[in-house]
């Protein structure tokens, strides 16, 4: 059987090879052998191929290998400036200039670096395992003498002949030689490359068709000369030299790695590009290491602190040098005459330099290494919470959300733009036949989500725009579940043969026949169950066929020339099988936007069935075919508004004579040779596709994934912009836009596309420009027009949508145009890019990321989204049915798109606040502590003596203040997760960066500075020279240091207690536990004689001294008063949103005053122009407007 007969248009591509067989003179092939076209493939001849040294098919995506891991990973670690600084201090700690013991410097550094390296290593190991899996896949390779053997993918070499079987992935880029079909075609699924799910047809050269079985490769020899490896998926140029003839190759013969063989039992191919040379690998971009914005800013703060550190160290060392020079000779009690080089009065400069190092280490508390440890730890715990969140658990797949890198948790709270893939992400790639309009009557009671919600909204009769939609959602969800499980289409008028009783039953019969006959699908009978599955080029056709089967028209067999349908209700005898002879098939393409089949039924009548876009069909209707036009148009608009894909169906009865004369012309066009063949075909097709009679229209729902519209709605309300990037064609993308409420009627669409080839060519001729320039010119003017349109718009409610085509995008992404394009895109409420290649997805992402300068999030599920996922600030992979590539490349993986809402609005919001507050607090506490050490220097002759015991300082960050701040970073929540979801506007605090702006950072630093001053000078004045006890004893350095340290512990722990708004027993335990730990420690430390002057300091010296406790109380209060003033001011004069909500919750106002609560919840949504809510609002406005015009007379206002 030659299935290819069905693809009438494609048939003739095969001849193209013959046409150019005379020599490599046709356009692209001319370059073969020139620069960039140097590849030579000796097929089936490893002896000749070997010397050319092309890489094998082994791929590796790891960053390190066993040898390079250590040096490379260490290098990576010490690229962080902070780590480098710590390394330096650790090295210096081995010298006598260090004021502390070396272990206390080296151990934390080793811990931090070790932990990070371990993490890196684990991630790389996972990548390695993944690579190994791919490399070890098996493929049948020709071993010689016509024998094929299974080998690992990695062993494959250029020139090998391979046999790929059904549903296998192609191991490398192959040249198709022959397939199980006689005419050498095969079907390919390129999901992993471009996200498109429809099957693509590839066709071998006629010359290689005889190579049909293993045996025939015994003596097969050929040479391919072609282009060098490049990332372009849709181009290929090369020559195939076989049997002393040269054939030109085009992309139609190339099978790309990572695409899949479908519907074809096997193919033979020659390997052209292996491993990293293959197009898909060329498309992959280096996975960049990502760091969150907060962390980058933190680095900046670290630099500032480092400057401060150097500054105060300089002050110290200069002070020290001056002191040494001027005063030390007089300080006989220091025996200056016996001094060493560290404090030599005769060489003050040298001593000063040594002291600088000492000071840098001593004041190192300003830049806490523990900050990095704590942040790492907190992020791991946060990631753990994300992984454990039961609300992001998908019951179907059993997958939870996975934070694959914990670096970016807080970045989730700052997302500005979401870039989403379509297929597999927004949609399940499943079509449902939902409605149809036959003979001007609309059938199908199933409603799309938009309709249900809008109807309910209206039915409630509530004029209040702000009525919450939650209830509608909830009920709606129930409906949805029903729809997914049951038969999608339900209308008793048509089902179970009832249509025969309808008034227009003959039209309905025609309608069903068109559904069952006008397509290119192939039925596949499941042997076990007897049920029939359809392999269709597009899922729409599959949906039609399934629907037709439900109506009683089961398409079950296709032969070369006929289609067989089992009809249930057309004859009184019950089920009958009918055969329709297919005479011609005029294929669908995006230019024609219609598809036609001409067939002869059993009565010998010649029928033409045509289905296509409504505008195209309506133009071609006969005068007597327009009976239902008005009604159908109305229905089509309704369907379109409801987010359904529509097609109009029509037919025509042909006279025998008319057909044969046309067919003759058609055959002539078919067999014509030359570039205008396609034009000819189109012209001829056009001749017959007219005088049509409209039958009706279909409406198919591109099944969205569960909860997608709601999720998009909420994300839009949270102020996020959503871009859809899809490999699908424009129509499909726009339909999905409607379904997701990213587009709606009344939105002004700005469509950017490159005019078709001939038009451009004509323009180019006129203005003597190259085709490319002309295309660019036209795009430029389109963008300018669009911008103008947006600018001139006065209506504040007007929304714009930008739809751009892949080709246009290629120009729009060029340097000179991209900013214009971006500016236009920013103005538009929603942006949809169609026909984008994986590389373009990544480029668009980069453009958005760099152009807007805000955080971008990319979400996708397939290998074609990997580039985008890696390029975006945050990459989210959907761990669904598709391969794991997207997930492997992602930073977070979720199993359904709808979980994105919770991931961002709840976890993102929390993590952002937590990390921001945590970092601020960390700086505060270390400034408060570190500066007291500096102040003391001024009183100790800048000698590098610390007022605190070494142990206190060591424990300060590690034990005494670490747990509260970690609990802040892990558990803090300003509002509960429900409120986060109910008030999406709270999310805006993240993108606006309210909690980590300079005002707040400097505020905290100022607070730290103030606290350090308060702690140091209050204590100093209290313990100046007077007795501290009734027993007359005065305070020594140990007593002063310990008291000061006690004050610091109290002050910083009180501060964090004031900062926290969410207290559980854990926080209480940590905060008060830290303070208690200090007392316990000082007691225990005081027991050991190692403690020096701190021996029994609490029990004997300070404990019984009331002044110690009085000072603690005073200093703690004094340190926290400014913060109290700040929050008092904020609370009473300038409350933030979450403060008010906290109050409402605290006072239980939400329970008492439910209307207020609901009103606020709906108000809390960002004014948005996209999303479901906006759509319902627009709809209501529209209906109200209509009602208004019609006057008071009440009309039926059902929405559907």
Partner 1 sequence: MTPGCLIATFLVIGIIFVPFGLFCLQTSNHVAEINRRYDVECVPNAYRGNKQAYIKDSAISKNCTLEVKVLDHMRAPIYVYYELENFYQNHRRYVKSRSDKQLRFGAKYTGESCSPVQWDHNGFPIVPCGLIAWSLFNDTYDFTQGSKEIKVNRKNISWKSDREHKFGKNVFPSNFQNGSFIGGGKLDPTVPLSEQEDLIVWMRPSALPKFRKLYGVIEEDLEVDETINILIRNNYNTYTFGGKKSIVLSTASWLGGKNDFLGYAYIVTGSMSIFMSILFALIHVKYPRPQGDTNRLSWNRKNSNN
The answer to whether 1018 contacts partner 1 (rule: CB under 8 A) is: yes
Closer to partner 1 by CB, 276 or 1131: give it. 1131
Judged by CB under 8 A, the chain residues 1041 through 1080 that form the site for partner 1 are 1041, 1061
Contact assessment for residue 328 and residue 336, using Cβ atoms and an 8 Å cutoff: yes
27 is in an annotated binding site: no
- DSSP H helices, 872-997, are 885-889, 899-901, 909-939, 950-955, 962-971, 977-982
Contact assessment for residue 896 and residue 706, using Cβ atoms and an 8 Å cutoff: yes
The answer to whether 1101 contacts partner 1 (rule: CB under 8 A) is: yes
Reading the block at residue 38, the tokens are 């140097």
Residue with tokens 């704590």: 374
Give the separation between CA 1182 and CA 587, rounded to whole angstroms: 39
Reading the block at residue 223, the tokens are 């040479």
Judged by CB under 8 A, the chain residues 284 through 343 that form the site for partner 1 are 327, 330-335, 338-339, 343
The answer to whether 947 contacts partner 1 (rule: CB under 8 A) is: yes
| Cα-based torsion angle of the residue sequence 307, 312, 315, 316 in order, rounded to the nearest 10 degrees | -130
Q: Least separation, in Å, of the C-beta of 1027 and partner 1?
A: 4
Q: Least separation, in Å, of the C-beta of 1160 and partner 1?
A: 5
How many C-beta neighbours within 10 Å does residue 207 have? 18
- Taking CB under 8 A as the binding criterion, the range among 184-192, 806-814, 845-853, 1104-1112 that sits at the site for partner 1 is 1104-1112
Judged by CB under 8 A, the chain residues 390 through 419 that form the site for partner 1 are none
CA nearest to 613, candidates 563, 648, 659, 652: 648
- Taking CB under 8 A as the binding criterion, the range among 439-447, 523-531, 541-549, 1026-1034 that sits at the site for partner 1 is 1026-1034
Q: Least separation, in Å, of the C-beta of 591 and partner 1?
A: 47
At 596, give phi and psi (nearest 5°): -135, 145
- Taking CB under 8 A as the binding criterion, the range among 111-119, 392-400, 411-419, 1089-1097 that sits at the site for partner 1 is 1089-1097
Closer to partner 1 by CB, 649 or 1051: give it. 1051
Helix (H, G, I), strand (E, B) or coil at 1089: helix
Give the separation between CA 811 and CA 818, rounded to whole angstroms: 8
The two most distant CA atoms of the chain are separated, in Å, by 128
Reading the block at residue 1184, the tokens are 């109200």
Q: Which long-range contacts (CB under 8 A, 24 or more apart) does 612-615 make?
A: 612/588, 612/647, 612/648, 613/647, 613/648, 613/731, 614/646, 614/647, 614/648, 614/697
Selected binder of partner 1 within 1036, 1182, 1197, 1198 (CB under 8 A): 1036
Closer to partner 1 by CB, 50 or 1167: give it. 1167
293 is in an annotated binding site: no
Closer to partner 1 by CB, 1089 or 1196: give it. 1089
Give all strands (DSSP E) within 308-426, no chain letters: 402-403, 415-421
Q: Least separation, in Å, of the C-beta of 1140 and partner 1?
A: 5
Q: Sketch the per residue contact string, 337 through 376, with partner 1: x for CB under 8 A, - otherwise.
A: -xx---x---------------------------------
- Taking CB under 8 A as the binding criterion, the range among 172-180, 482-490, 962-970, 1093-1101 that sits at the site for partner 1 is 1093-1101
Residue with tokens 């075609």: 185
Q: Least separation, in Å, of the C-beta of 388 and partner 1?
A: 30
DSSP 214: G
Q: Sketch the per residue contact string, 88 through 127, with partner 1: x for CB under 8 A, - otherwise.
A: -----------x----------------------------
Closer to partner 1 by CB, 465 or 765: give it. 465
Q: Least separation, in Å, of the C-beta of 933 and partner 1?
A: 12
Q: Are strands 830-834 and 39-43 parallel, antiparallel or unpaired?
A: unpaired
The answer to whether 848 contacts partner 1 (rule: CB under 8 A) is: no
Q: Least separation, in Å, of the C-beta of 732 and partner 1?
A: 36
Give the separation between CA 5 and CA 102, rounded to whole angstroms: 81
Please return the burial class of 375, using the count of CB atoms within 10 Å of its CB with bins 0-12, 13-18 and 19+: buried
Selected binder of partner 1 within 19, 1110, 1181, 1186 (CB under 8 A): 1110
**Which element (helix H / strand E) includes 446?**
none
Closer to partner 1 by CB, 738 or 936: give it. 936
The answer to whether 1083 contacts partner 1 (rule: CB under 8 A) is: no
| Whether residue 421 lies in the annotated active site | yes
Judged by CB under 8 A, the chain residues 1113 through 1152 that form the site for partner 1 are 1114, 1117-1118, 1121, 1124-1125, 1127-1129, 1131-1133, 1135-1137, 1139-1147, 1149
Judged by CB under 8 A, the chain residues 47 through 66 that form the site for partner 1 are none
Q: Are strands 721-725 and 415-421 parallel, antiparallel or unpaired?
A: parallel
Residue with tokens 């002879």: 581
Q: Which residues of 701-736 are buried (b: 16+ CB within 10 A; e: fewer)?
A: bbbbbbbbbbbbbbbbbbbbbbbbbbbbbbebbbbb
588 is in an annotated binding site: yes
How many C-beta neighbours within 10 Å does residue 668 have? 11
- Taking CB under 8 A as the binding criterion, the range among 147-155, 780-788, 894-902, 1096-1104 that sits at the site for partner 1 is 1096-1104
Judged by CB under 8 A, the chain residues 759 through 798 that form the site for partner 1 are none
Give the separation between CA 992 and CA 994, rounded to whole angstroms: 6
Closer to partner 1 by CB, 108 or 991: give it. 991
- Taking CB under 8 A as the binding criterion, the range among 216-224, 397-405, 525-533, 941-949 that sits at the site for partner 1 is 941-949
The answer to whether 547 contacts partner 1 (rule: CB under 8 A) is: no
Q: Which residues of 286-325 are buried (b: 16+ CB within 10 A; e: fewer)?
A: ebeebebbbbebbeebbeebbebbeebbeebbebbbebbb
Candidate list 183, 421, 432, 891, residue with the active-site label? 421
Closer to partner 1 by CB, 484 or 1140: give it. 1140
Binding residues for ATP are 421-423, 541, 588, 611, 645, 726-728, 835, 841, 864-865
Active site residues per annotation: 421
Binding residues for Mg(2+) are 421, 423, 861, 865
Binding residues are 421-423, 541, 588, 611, 645, 726-728, 835, 841, 861, 864-865
């Amino acid at each position: 059987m030659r299935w290819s007969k069905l693809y009438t248009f494609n048939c003739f591509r095969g001849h193209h090879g013959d046409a150019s067989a005379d020599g490599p003179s046709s356009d692209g092939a001319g370059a073969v052998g020139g620069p960039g076209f140097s590849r030579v493939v000796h097929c089936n001849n490893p002896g000749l191929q070997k010397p050319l040294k092309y890489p094998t098919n082994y791929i590796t995506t790891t960053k390190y290998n066993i040898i390079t891991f250590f040096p490379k990973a260490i290098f990576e670690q010490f690229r962080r400036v902070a780590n480098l600084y710590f390394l330096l201090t650790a090295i210096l700690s081995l010298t006598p200039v260090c004021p502390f013991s070396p272990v206390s410097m080296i151990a934390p550094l080793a811990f931090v670096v070790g932990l990070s390296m371990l993490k890196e290593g684990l991630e790389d190991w996972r990548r390695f395992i993944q690579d190994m899996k791919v490399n070890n896949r098996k493929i049948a390779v020709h071993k010689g003498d016509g024998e094929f053997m299974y080998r690992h993918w990695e062993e494959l070499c250029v020139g090998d002949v391979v046999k790929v079987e059904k549903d296998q992935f192609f191991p490398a880029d192959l040249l198709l030689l022959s397939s199980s079909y006689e005419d050498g075609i095969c079907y390919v699924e390129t999901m992993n490359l471009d996200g498109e799910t429809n099957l693509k047809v590839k066709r071998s050269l006629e010359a290689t068709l005889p190579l049909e079985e293993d045996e025939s490769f015994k003596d097969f020899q050929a040479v391919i000369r072609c282009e060098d490896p490049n990332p372009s998926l849709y181009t290929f140029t090369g020559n195939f030299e076989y049997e002393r003839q040269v054939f030109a190759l085009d992309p139609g013969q190339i099978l790309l790695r990572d695409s899949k063989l479908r519907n074809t039992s096997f193919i033979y191919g020659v390997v052209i590009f292996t491993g990293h040379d293959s197009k898909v690998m060329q498309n992959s971009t280096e996975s960049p290491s990502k760091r969150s914005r907060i962390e980058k800013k933190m680095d900046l703060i670290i630099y500032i602190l480092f400057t401060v550190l150097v500054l105060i160290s300089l002050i110290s060392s200069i002070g020290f040098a001056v002191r040494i020079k001027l005063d030390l000779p007089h300080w006989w009690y220091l025996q200056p005459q016996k001094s060493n080089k560290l404090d030599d009065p005769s060489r003050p400069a040298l001593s000063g330099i040594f002291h600088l190092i000492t000071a840098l280490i001593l004041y190192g508390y300003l830049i806490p290494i523990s900050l990095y440890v704590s942040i790492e730890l907190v992020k791991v715990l946060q990631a753990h919470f994300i992984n454990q969140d039961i609300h992001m658990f998908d019951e179907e797949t059993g997958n939870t959300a996975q934070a694959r890198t914990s670096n970016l948790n807080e970045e989730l709270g700052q997302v500005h733009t979401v870039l989403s893939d379509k297929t597999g992400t927004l949609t399940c790639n499943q079509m449902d036949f939902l409605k149809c309009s036959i003979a001007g009557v609309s059938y199908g009671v199933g409603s799309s989500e938009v309709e249900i919600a809008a109807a309910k909204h209206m039915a409630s009769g509530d004029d209040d725009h702000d009525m919450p939609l939650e209830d509608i959602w909830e009920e709606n969800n129930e409906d949805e579940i029903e729809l997914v499980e049951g038969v999608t289409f339900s209308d008793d008028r048509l089902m179970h043969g009832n249509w025969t009783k309808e008034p227009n039953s003959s039209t309905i019969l025609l309608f069903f026949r068109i559904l069952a006959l006008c397509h290119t699908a192939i039925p596949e009978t499941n042997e076990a169950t007897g049920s029939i599955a359809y392999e269709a080029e597009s899922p729409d056709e599959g949906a039609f066929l399934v629907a037709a089967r439900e109506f009683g028209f089961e398409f079950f067999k296709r032969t070369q020339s006929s289609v067989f349908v089992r009809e249930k209700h057309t004859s009184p005898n019950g089920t009958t099988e009918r055969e329709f002879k297919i005479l011609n098939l005029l294929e669908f393409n995006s230019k024609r936007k219609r598809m036609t089949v001409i067939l002869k039924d059993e009565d010998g009548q010649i029928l033409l069935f045509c289905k296509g876009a409504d505008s195209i069909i309506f133009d071609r209707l006969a005068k007597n075919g327009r009976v239902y036009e008005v009604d159908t148009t109305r229905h089509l608009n309704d369907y379109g508004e409801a987010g359904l894909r529509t097609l109009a169906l029509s037919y025509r009865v042909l006279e025998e004579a008319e057909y044969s004369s046309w067919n003759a012309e058609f055959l002539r066009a078919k067999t014509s040779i030359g570039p205008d063949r396609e034009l000819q075909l189109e012209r001829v097709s056009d001749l017959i596709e007219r005088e049509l009679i409209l039958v009706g229209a279909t409406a198919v729902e591109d099944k969205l994934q569960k909860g997608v519209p709601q999720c998009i709605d909420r994300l839009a309300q949270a102020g996020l912009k959503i871009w859809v990037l899809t490999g699908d064609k424009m129509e499909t993308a726009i339909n999905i836009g409607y379904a997701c409420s990213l587009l709606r009627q009344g939105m002004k669409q700005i469509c950017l596309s490159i005019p078709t080839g001939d038009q451009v060519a004509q323009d180019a001729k006129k203005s003597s420009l190259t085709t490319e320039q002309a295309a660019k010119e036209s795009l430029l003017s389109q963008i300018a027009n669009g911008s103008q349109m947006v600018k001139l718009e006065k209506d504040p409610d007007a929304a714009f949508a930008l739809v751009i085509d892949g080709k246009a995008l290629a120009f729009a992404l060029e340097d000179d145009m991209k900013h214009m394009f971006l500016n236009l895109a920013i103005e538009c409420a929603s942006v949809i890019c169609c026909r984008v290649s994986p590389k373009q997805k990544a480029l668009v992402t980069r453009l958005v990321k760099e152009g807007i300068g805000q955080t971008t999030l990319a979400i996708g599920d397939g290998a074609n989204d990997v580039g985008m996922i890696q390029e975006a600030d945050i990459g989210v992979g959907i761990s669904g049915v598709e391969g794991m590539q997207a997930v492997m490349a992602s930073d977070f993986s979720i199993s359904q798109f709808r979980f994105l809402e919770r991931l961002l609005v709840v976890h993102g919001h929390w993590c952002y606040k937590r990390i921001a507050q945590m970092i601020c607090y960390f700086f505060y506490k270390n400034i408060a502590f570190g500066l007291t050490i500096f102040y003391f220097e001024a009183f100790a002759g800048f000698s590098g003596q610390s007022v605190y015991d070494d142990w206190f300082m060591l424990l300060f960050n590690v034990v005494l203040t670490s747990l509260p701040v970690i609990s802040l970073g892990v558990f803090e929540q300003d509002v509960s997760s429900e409120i986060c979801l109910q008030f999406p506007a709270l999310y805006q605090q993240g993108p606006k960066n309210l909690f980590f702006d300079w005002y707040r950072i400097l505020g905290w630093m100022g607070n730290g500075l103030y606290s350090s001053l308060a702690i140091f000078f209050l204590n100093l004045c209290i313990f100046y020279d007077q007795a501290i006890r009734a027993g007359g004893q005065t305070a020594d350095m140990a007593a002063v240091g310990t008291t000061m340290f006690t004050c610091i512990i109290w002050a910083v722990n009180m501060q964090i207690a004031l900062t926290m708004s969410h207290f559980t027993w854990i926080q209480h335990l940590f905060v008060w536990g830290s303070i208690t730990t200090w007392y316990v420690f000082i007691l225990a430390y005081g027991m050991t004689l190692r403690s020096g002057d701190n021996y029994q300091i609490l029990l004997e010296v300070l404990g019984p001294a009331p002044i110690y406790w009085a000072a603690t109380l005073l200093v703690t209060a004094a340190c926290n008063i400014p913060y109290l003033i700040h929050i008092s001011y904020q609370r009473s004069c300038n409350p933030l949103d979450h403060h008010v909500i906290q109050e409402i919750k605290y006072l239980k106002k939400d329970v008492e005053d439910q209307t207020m609560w609901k009103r606020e919840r709906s108000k809390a949504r960002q004014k948005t122009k996209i999303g479901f809510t906006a759509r319902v609002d627009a709809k209501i406005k529209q209906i109200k407007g209509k009602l208004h015009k019609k006057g008071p007379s009440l009309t039926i206002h059902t929405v559907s």
